[in-house]
A = this chain, B = another copy of it.
Amino acid sequence: MQKSAKNKRATLRDVARYAKVSVATVSRVLNDSALVSQATRERVEDTIEVLGFVPSAAARTLNSGNSRTIGALVPTLDHSIFARYLDALENQLSKQGYALIVSVTGGVPSVEERKAFGLLDLGVEGLVVSGCTHSTRFDALVDRFRVPVLITSYFDTEARYPTIGYDNRAIATKALRYLRSLGHQSVSVIHGATDVNDRILARIEAIREAAVDVTVKFWPVSMDVPGGADAVREMAKQKDWSSALLCLSDVQALGALFELQRQGVLVPRDISIMGFDDLEWSAVSAPGITSISLPAREMGTHAANALVAWIRTGERAQPMSIGAEIVVRGSTREV
């Protein structure tokens, strides 16, 4: 094997040599910058084709300084809210020429730090972080890399970074008020773990502190369909029934609904159920589940736009509250 490496990719210099022009000319052709004669341009393009030349992203990044990637940190992909949000985020970023690098943190702060470092180390131009409590080490990291950071999934003008998301406290209060307006005086709140999920935490705090004349009891279970069923079974065991169930996630609401049906309890005649997230099947279950619609796609799109604008202009993004609406369906009734 001669020094002409066996199957390394061709470089710009190879093209230049082969086409008998200078590297500058090849570069000009690549960036179709004005001043190259038609004849030369064609010759170079042919050579590029023949050699199967492909410019190196790393080299380009090295002198332009931008990697055209942004990083997203999410607790999990295996939850439709995050998946849908990322779907929209990727879509919008892609339109603006950015690629999305996804890192899953499991909601664990130490993992989040590690993954954030990995993303920054890779040279992402910005970071979007979803719903987790951030550490001072994370902040130090961000300071160091001087990179725009956006927080999503909750809205808080006081936060260290611009937030784009739902005002979880307001939403939760709204839900509780709604149930109260239907006449429910006692509400059982079914929710997931609070230690790794500050969205849930915010909702719970708001409900606890709400100046609404309702007796509230909290039922912590896992954040999935079986969790909702578990909560109902526990209520049955303790013979502790409220007239309304407020599930801080629709998956739990579905589990609760199924379990109540299994036990012969009629919804909404005997018990009303209200969920959060407005997942697609919440509209089609029997009865449909009254829920709070969180426009995850909208959040993703806005986050993409805000972050790219921030990167382009250098002006810090503004916090943005994404509205959420109560979607009334058959699972709740007036008492």
Q: Which residues of A contact B (CB under 8 A)?
A: 7, 9, 52, 54-59, 61-62, 67-69, 76-80, 82-84, 86-87, 90-91, 94, 99-104, 115, 118-123, 143-146, 224-226, 229, 251, 254-255, 258-259, 261-262, 280-281, 283-286
> A77-B86, A79-B83 are known contacts; what are 20 more A-B pairs with Cβ within 8 Å?
A9-B146, A52-B143, A57-B67, A57-B122, A57-B123, A58-B59, A58-B61, A61-B61, A69-B101, A69-B122, A77-B77, A80-B83, A82-B83, A91-B104, A94-B118, A99-B119, A99-B122, A225-B281, A226-B280, A251-B281
In the complex, A9→B76 CA distance in Å? 32
Given contacts A57-B122, A58-B58, A103-B94, are A78 and B68 in contact (CB under 8 A)? no
Is there contact, CB below 8 Å, between A146 and B67? no
Partner pick for A56 among B62, B77, B146, CB 8 A cutoff:
B62
The answer for the CA separation of A9 and B147 in the assembled complex, in Å, is 11
Q: Tell whether, in the assembled complex, residue B86 and residue A254 are in contact, meaning their CB atoms are under 8 Å apart.
A: no
A119 CA / B99 CA spacing, docked (Å): 8
Contacts of A144 in B (CB 8 A): 52, 54
Are B280 and A224 interface neighbours, CB within 8 A?
yes
Distance (whole angstroms) from the CB of A140 to the closest CB of chain B: 10
Among candidates B115, B261, B283, residue contacting A94 with C-beta atoms closer than 8 Å: B115
Which residues of B are found within 8 Å of A87, using beta-carbon distances? 76-78, 104
Instruction: Tell me the minimal C-beta distance from A184 to chain B in angstroms.
Output: 25
B145 touching A54 by the CB < 8 A rule? yes
Collect the chain B residues with CB atoms within 8 Å of residue A57's CB: 67, 121-123
Bound-complex Cα distance A284 to B255 (A): 7
| Contact yes or no, B103 A90, CB < 8 A | yes
Residue numbers in B under 8 Å from A120 (CB-CB): 54
Contact residue among B78, B91, B94, B281 (Cβ-Cβ distance under 8 Å from A254): B281
* Set of chain B residues within 8 Å of A143, measured between Cβ atoms: 52
Cβ-neighbour of A58 out of B104, B123, B258, B280 (below 8 A):
B123
Q: How far is the CB of A316 from chain B (nearest CB, A)?
A: 15
Q: In the complex, how many angstroms separate the beta carbon of A70 from the nearest chain B beta carbon? A: 10
Contact assessment for B146 and A7 in the assembled complex, using a CB-CB cutoff below 8 Å: yes
Alpha-carbon distance A56/B101, docked complex (angstroms): 17
Using CB atoms, name the residue of chain B closest to A91. Answer: B104
Nearest Cβ distance between residue A125 and chain B, in whole angstroms? 11
Contacting pair A68 B122 (CB below 8 A): yes
- When A99-B119, A254-B281, A284-B258 are in contact, do A77 and B90 touch as well, CB less than 8 Å? yes
Q: CB-CB < 8 A to A77: which residues of B?
A: 77, 83-84, 86-87, 90
CB distance from A285 to the nearest CB of B (A): 6
Residues in B with CB closer than 8 Å to A119 are 99
Q: How far is the CA of A35 from the CA of B278 in the complex (A)?
A: 60
Whether A83 and B78, one on each chain, are in contact in the complex, defined by CB atoms closer than 8 angstroms, is yes
Bound complex: CA A61 to CA B283 (Å): 49
- Out of B62, B225, B285, which one reaches A280, CB within 8 Å? B225
